[in-house]
Amino acid sequence: MPVNDPVVAEQTPAADFTIEQKWDRYSTEEHAIWTTLYERQMKILGNRAVPEFFKGLELLNLNEGGIPDFRRINEKLEALTGWTVVTVPGLIPEKEFFEHLANRRFVSGRFIRDGEKLDYLPEPDIFHDVFGHVPLLSLPVFADYMAAYGRGGLRSIGFDAIKQITRLYWYTVEFGLINTPEGRRIYGAGIVSSRAESIFSLEARSPNRIHFDIERIMRTDYRYDDFQQSYFVIDSFEELMEATYQDFESIYQRLRGQSDLKPSQIIQGDKVYSKGSQEYALAGGLLKQAAAL
């Protein structure tokens, strides 16, 4: 739980870990941080993000300035795809997270990052959660994917496969790329909400870019503290949905006999768009960030 948000600290979460957003309690400074982040990121994204992301920003009026009021977002979002955004105090257990997604509720933190550390994020804040994730929930096929993922996540608990299903979320919802007629674009929230990774993921020589394969992704470890060493690319959101709309039991059974893959690894059968140099990771990651871009 973020210690710098007294509005969070004063509330007792419900059984499903939700709390009230209490939008009227945000300070002028907190709204200004959101606006700074929004304007900065929109300048970076340009033609790097998928068009549906920008459409979602408009449909949900996330471009009005200041931290969005979930009550206003939810009126529009629920009418479009049946989703709502709910507030939680921080990271919540996997079971409850999956249950919220399966029931078309996207969980968001309330707090916003320190204005003096705009690029430092010890855990996801409201800018990452809402700016990064919520726009694509206005797109029916992606909204359906997220709900299907939630149902799959609940089922994964019975197969002791949370690690595998989490990798799928990581390499799609958080750090996914997509091919479009205009070129490769970002759709993953972890990239869309990051100034540096928006450039790195598409333009740096360092990472691998490999076509989406659900079983291969479930074998692949990831970097949780730095830029990714591999990004997986879909051809369409329909491809993503179709691949997810299946019973993963047979995949889990096959994976039990296979070793995990390193984040930088390329294997036989991969459709590789670009084999990365891995120079960024080899140089020490974030400490060498400027030289890698």
Q: What is the pLDDT of residue 42?
A: 96
Using 50, 70 and 90 to split pLDDT, how confident is the model at 273? Answer: very high
- Stated pTM of the model: 0.94
Q: What is the pLDDT of residue 120?
A: 61
Q: Which residues are annotated as a binding site for Fe cation?
A: 128, 133, 174
Mean pLDDT along residues 264-285: 95
Model confidence pLDDT, tens digit, residues 50-99: 999 999 999 999 988 899 999 999 999 999 999 999 999 999 999 999 99
36 pLDDT higher than 70: yes
Model confidence pLDDT, tens digit, residues 139-153: 999 999 999 999 999
Mean pLDDT along residues 248-264: 94
Mean pLDDT along residues 105-129: 87
Q: Which residues are annotated as a binding site?
A: 128, 133, 174
Q: What is the pLDDT of residue 287?
A: 45
260 pLDDT higher than 70: yes
Domains of the chain, by residue range, sit at 17-292
Residue 174 per-residue DSSP state: I
Model confidence pLDDT, tens digit, residues 179-225: 999 999 999 999 999 999 999 999 999 999 999 999 999 999 999 88
Residues facing 274 on adjacent strands: 209
For the domain with range 17-292, which CATH number is right: 1.10.3720.10, 1.10.800.10, 1.10.4190.10, 1.20.1740.10? Answer: 1.10.800.10
For the chain, percent of residues with pLDDT exceeding 90? 87
Q: What is the pLDDT of residue 290?
A: 43
